């Protein structure tokens, strides 16, 4: 038992009225070395939050009996907000009814750093945006893609595997082959396993895309096809979305080419086309 607790990356609450989904998520997350507790509806979820103040993440189904996922989330966010306000004022303060209309006067408050990830069968981008705007940190869709699930959970739990690799800041204009009619996007980060983009349009999670950059093409010694799957897409403004792509199907040669850039350059910009030579041989003149 003690060894298992040491091994755990953190505790996650899975809330879903489907036993099959609960068991599937529990199996995948425990295999990934997370500690998992389960709830079958919203009211039970709130009880579990009180019983486990060390929870770091809730995977929350949207459509559930008794209380839906949005009601549960708003209730928890209200409690967290009051806990923060009380700590800033140096007092406890009386807890009143939350947005779900439930008394909040019993049980410990949830972890201030608690994160919420919706799990929903709704793939309509408008519905997903509404869930994010309501306060969720991220979402996964059913049917569940295991690779996307684990990468999202690792990120939310502070276990981002991408940081095992050299990461290089960028300012590169790119085109996305599958969205050729849209405005060019910007690559702001690159490693041999992922890339971060800024796009003027929404790209749903799980979408397979192909990135193309003239600058990178000129640096690679061999043709590299940067194809990947969107694992994270967040709306930052009316025409600005943060997008993270996990590369898929890269050969070892492809990874070597990307690594040769990310490990030797501190930053990469389109306008540096003529500056590389200046940095090597022209800096002495000044």
**Local confidence band at 81 (pLDDT 50, 70, 90 cut-offs):** confident
Q: Distance between CA atoms of 206 and 193, rounded to whole angstroms? A: 16
- Give the burial class of 10: count Cβ atoms within 10 A of its Cβ; 0-12 exposed, 13-18 middle, 19 or more buried: middle
285 occurs within a structural domain: no
Domain co-membership, 7 together with 143: yes
The CA radius of gyration of the chain, in Å to the nearest whole number, is 22
Q: Distance between CA atoms of 118 and 24, rounded to whole angstroms? A: 16
Domain co-membership, 180 together with 69: no
CATH number for the domain that contains residue 193: 2.40.10.220
**Local confidence band at 12 (pLDDT 50, 70, 90 cut-offs):** very high
- Give the burial class of 103: count Cβ atoms within 10 A of its Cβ; 0-12 exposed, 13-18 middle, 19 or more buried: exposed
| Cβ neighbours of 100 (radius 10 Å) | 19
Query: Alpha carbon of 28 to those of 23, 35, 41, 114, 244: distances in Å?
Result: 9, 11, 20, 21, 22
CA dihedral 162→164→168→172, nearest 10 degrees, is -20
Tally of domains within the chain? 2
194 occurs within a structural domain: yes
Q: At what angle do helices 19-31 and 146-156 cross, to 10 degrees?
A: 70
Q: Give the CB-side neighbour count of residue 266, counting CA atoms within 13 A.
A: 2
What does the pLDDT average to over 277-286? Answer: 42
Domain co-membership, 131 together with 214: no
Is the pLDDT score of 275 beyond 50?
A: no
276 occurs within a structural domain: no
pTM of the model: 0.58
- Minimum mean pLDDT among 23-32, 54-63, 90-99, 109-118: which range? 90-99
With tokens 């953190």, the residue in question is 10
Domain housing 145: 2-159
Domain co-membership, 125 together with 182: no
Classified as helix, coil or strand, 142 is coil
283 occurs within a structural domain: no
Give residue-wise pLDDT tens across range 161-196: 545 578 899 999 999 999 999 999 999 999 888 899
Structural tokens at position 131: 């869930």
Mean pLDDT, the chain, as a whole number? 81
Domain co-membership, 123 together with 231: no
Domain co-membership, 21 together with 150: yes
Domain co-membership, 24 together with 150: yes
Query: Which residue, 126, 159, 192, sits at the end of a domain?
Result: 159
Instruction: Decide if 118 contacts 62 (C-beta within 8 A).
Output: yes
Query: Which residue, 116, 137, 159, sits at the end of a domain?
Result: 159
Q: For residue 110, which of 63, 146, 58 has the smallest C-alpha distance?
A: 58
DSSP sequence for 173-201: EEEEGGGTTSPPEEEEEE-SSEEEEEESS
Instruction: Decide if 72 contacts 47 (C-beta within 8 A).
Output: no
**Local confidence band at 125 (pLDDT 50, 70, 90 cut-offs):** low
Q: For residue 139, which of 232, 265, 74 has the smallest C-alpha distance?
A: 232
Domain co-membership, 125 together with 206: no
**Local confidence band at 71 (pLDDT 50, 70, 90 cut-offs):** confident
Domain co-membership, 240 together with 171: yes
Structural tokens at position 44: 């039970």
Range of 14-28, 164-178, 267-281 with top mean pLDDT: 14-28
∠ CA 149-154-159, nearest 5°, is 170
161 membership: H or E segment, kind and range = none
For residue 78, the model assigns a pLDDT of 84
């Amino acid at each position: 038992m003690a060894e298992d607790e040491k091994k755990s990356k953190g505790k996650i609450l899975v809330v879903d009225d489907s036993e099959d989904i609960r068991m599937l998520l529990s199996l995948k997350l425990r295999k990934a070395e997370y500690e998992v507790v389960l709830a079958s509806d919203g009211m039970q979820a709130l009880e579990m939050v009180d019983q486990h103040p060390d929870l770091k993440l809730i995977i929350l189904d949207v459509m559930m009996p008794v209380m839906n996922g949005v009601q549960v989330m708003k209730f928890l966010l209200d409690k967290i907000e009051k806990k923060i306000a009380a700590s800033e004022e140096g007092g406890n303060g009386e807890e009143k009814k939350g947005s779900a209309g439930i008394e909040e006067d019993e049980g410990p408050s949830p972890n201030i750093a608690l994160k919420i990830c919706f799990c929903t069968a709704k793939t309509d981008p408008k519905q997903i945006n509404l869930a994010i705007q309501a306060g969720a940190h991220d979402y996964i869709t059913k049917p569940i893609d295991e690779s996307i699930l684990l990468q999202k959970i690792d990120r939310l739990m502070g276990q981002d595997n991408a940081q095992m690799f050299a990461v290089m800041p960028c300012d590169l204009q790119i085109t996305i082959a599958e969205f050729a009619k849209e405005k060019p996007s910007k690559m702001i980060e690159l490693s041999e396993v992922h890339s971060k983009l800024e796009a003027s349009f929404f790209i749903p999670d799980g979408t397979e895309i192909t990135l193309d950059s003239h600058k990178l093409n000129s640096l690679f010694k061999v043709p590299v096809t940067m194809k990947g799957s969107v694992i994270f897409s967040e709306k930052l403004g009316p025409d600005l979305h943060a997008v993270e792509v996990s590369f898929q199907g890269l050969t070892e040669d492809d990874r070597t080419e990307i690594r040769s850039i990310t490990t030797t350059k501190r930053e990469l910009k389109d306008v540096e086309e003529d500056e590389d030579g200046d940095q090597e041989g022209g800096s002495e003149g000044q």
